[in-house]
Chains A and B, each alone.
Chain A
């Protein structure tokens, strides 16, 4: 592929990535939002984080199937407890990485 081909493809991808990020913000930030929408949206962060995390802790990717007791899950439990106690994201990331590395050595 030539430079121009790449530029065209990535511009197209960029446009369809940017629009969903831009349109709601652009319009909703200048509108008074109804209370029900604010209440519903306030639950979106916790829902998205759970939705992103859960499959990586409880299932395999290739092929997709349930998998109990993955190293990811075993490490997630102490990491979660540490995060609840410490309330520090930086330290939690480092603890998670260390435990995952340690677990990889033994399992």
Chain B
């Protein structure tokens, strides 16, 4: 029988679900703060493209993928066929296979119902937040699930509101546009454990810029993360052999 390695230990004090929820919510709020302006903008764009507000909400519930939704909206506006929109969505979201694989390390032996529910909320943002906490060992799967679903509900609300009132909000209010960037910067610093990680980050960044400039579309994210991680891995093995 496989055991759930990340079970919560009651002797560590508070073990109630409310406590997990509070911990999860405390970790999720920067994501929610970032999703507000992005979601409002997404909804406002959709409304301009002729989507009714309920369609925006429906899309956010069924798809829950920020960049893919932006692309789908602009494709709908230019009259693209549903098949091409779905194919583009697939390509844009293929990067999540990497995140899903990485999360599997920390969800070993967890039941498949939970995994299926958890998979729905794997985004760039929830992945980065959950991985950082899983790595320090102070995180359990219920807290991670809270992060996923809280950010999802904010995303659904923000995009739907954007479709209703998005036109009324001034652009760039209060530096909101920087919320996501600030969060990624902060999460990046948490990942820099030693020289190998710093090198991997630098190489992934360089590859990403090069691929971004040379190749249209969103493939630069996958190319740079696979390329950067592979180079980092090779360097790590080389340096281990020498010592």
Interface residues of A (CB under 8 A from B): 1, 5-14, 16-18, 20-26, 28-30, 33, 36, 38-59, 64-66, 72, 75-76, 79-80, 83-84, 87-90, 92-102, 104
Query: A29 to B104, Cβ gap below 8 A?
Result: yes
Query: A40 to B65, Cβ gap below 8 A?
Result: no
Given contacts A46-B197, A90-B30, A104-B172, whether A29 and B115 have CB atoms under 8 Å apart is: yes
Query: B94 to A20, Cβ gap below 8 A?
Result: yes
Query: A28 to B63, Cβ gap below 8 A?
Result: no
Query: B120 to A96, Cβ gap below 8 A?
Result: no
**A98: B residues at CB distance < 8 A:** 175
Query: A59 to B209, Cβ gap below 8 A?
Result: yes
Query: B119 to A46, Cβ gap below 8 A?
Result: no
Which one of B29, B115, B200 contacts A43 once the chains associate, using CB atoms below 8 Å?
A: B200
Stretch from B14-22, B156-164, B182-190 at the A interface: B182-190
Is B191 an interface residue when CB atoms closer than 8 A count as contact? yes
Q: How distant is the Cα of A93 from the Cα of B239 in the complex, in angstroms?
A: 36
CB within 8 Å of A: which B174-232 residues: 174-179, 181-192, 196-197, 200-209, 212-213, 216, 220-221, 224-230, 232
**A94: B residues at CB distance < 8 A:** 182
Is B168 an interface residue when CB atoms closer than 8 A count as contact? no
Interface residues of B (CB under 8 A from A): 2, 29-30, 33-34, 51, 55, 58-59, 62-65, 68, 72, 82, 85-87, 89-90, 93-105, 107-110, 112, 115-116, 118-120, 122, 124, 127-129, 131-132, 172, 174-179, 181-192, 196-197, 200-209, 212-213, 216, 220-221, 224-230, 232-233, 236
Given contacts A21-B96, A50-B204, whether A43 and B63 have CB atoms under 8 Å apart is: no
Q: How distant is the Cα of A90 from the Cα of B28 in the complex, in angstroms?
A: 10
Query: B109 to A41, Cβ gap below 8 A?
Result: no
Given contacts A64-B213, A93-B34, whether A13 and B174 have CB atoms under 8 Å apart is: no
Query: B104 to A21, Cβ gap below 8 A?
Result: no
Query: A84 to B85, Cβ gap below 8 A?
Result: no
Given contacts A9-B82, A66-B209, A84-B189, whether A95 and B225 have CB atoms under 8 Å apart is: no
Q: How distant is the Cα of A29 from the Cα of B115 in the complex, in angstroms?
A: 8
Q: How distant is the Cα of A97 from the Cα of B176 in the complex, in angstroms?
A: 6
Q: How distant is the Cα of A38 from the Cα of B213 in the complex, in angstroms?
A: 31
Given contacts A18-B119, A47-B232, A53-B185, whether A64 and B30 have CB atoms under 8 Å apart is: no
Query: A54 to B206, Cβ gap below 8 A?
Result: yes
25 pairs from A and B in contact (CB 8 Å cutoff): A5-B82, A9-B85, A10-B55, A10-B58, A12-B89, A13-B59, A13-B89, A14-B63, A21-B97, A25-B118, A26-B115, A29-B109, A30-B108, A33-B104, A47-B225, A47-B227, A48-B99, A52-B124, A52-B221, A53-B205, A54-B224, A89-B30, A93-B30, A100-B177, A102-B175
Query: A24 to B100, Cβ gap below 8 A?
Result: yes
